[in-house]
Amino acid sequence: MDMVSLSDMTDQRFIKTHLHYHILPESVKTSGAKVLYVHRDGRDVCVSFYHFSRMLNIYKYRGSFADFRDNFMRGEIVHGPYREHVQGYLEHSDTVLCLTYEQMHQDRGSVVRKVADFLGVCLSDADVDDIAKNTSFEVMKANPDTNFRQWEDSGLVSGTEEGTFMRKGVVGDWRNYFTEEESETFLKWRNEEVAPLN
């Protein structure tokens, strides 16, 4: 779908972005648009983005994880700096529904209800169960409408040792990449200029 056809749409639409809050068009902030923001533990973001950067053919990152982590903490990555990205949305939680990946992983049904309430949509218990089931990582990874397999087909990503676009979908994979000391350093860095994010 191109921008012209998007602007011609009259009913509700869904737009996904990785933009910082301050970069969003003013119309998004002032029109009553519903904004949902999902963030996750920065250590898991760092690990996930490391693998994504190795898989995405326009990045072709081949450095070490340690170097990538240091770049991440300096804000020298696409969509960085991380802290400012998250804080920008959290500061507008009066108009933005802020959710965490960890919440979705732990109790998808209650998150579905939160989103429905925020959007003003009435759902039955069966609807909630159906949405929760169909938004599980396993189901979405197998679904061609949600698994980004077309990115592999187009050559944007390479199905390499890094795996597919949807890699693991777990909470806490950072433990396989960070030592205890590195984790403590990361958490101290994350919280030094912004409120704790978890």
Which band of pLDDT confidence, cut at 50, 70 and 90, is reported for residue 170? confident
**Residue range 134-148: mean pLDDT, rounded:** 76
Given a cut of 90, whether residue 183 has pLDDT beyond it is yes
Q: Which domains does the chain have, with CATH numbers?
A: 32-190 (3.40.50.300)
**pLDDT computed for residue 144 by the predictor:** 74
**Centroid of chain to Cα 53:** 15
Can you tell me the distance from the alpha carbon of 154 to that of 167, in angstroms, rounded to the nearest whole number?
18
CA 44 to chain centre: 11
pLDDT at residue number 1: 45
Mean pLDDT score, 6-26: 80
pLDDT tens-digit profile of 39-97? 999 999 999 889 888 877 777 788 999 999 999 999 888 888 888 899 999 999 888 99
| C-alpha–C-alpha distance, residues 37 and 168, integer Å | 21
* Average pLDDT value for the chain: 83
92 is catalytic: no
Q: Which residue would you say has higher pLDDT here, 195 or 187? A: 187
The predicted model gives 5-22 an average pLDDT of 77
Bigger pLDDT: 5 or 68? 68
Residue environment code for 103-127, b if the CB has 16+ CB neighbours within 10 A, otherwise e: ebbeebeebbbbbeeeeeeebeeee
d(CA 57, CA 59) in angstroms, rounded, equals 5
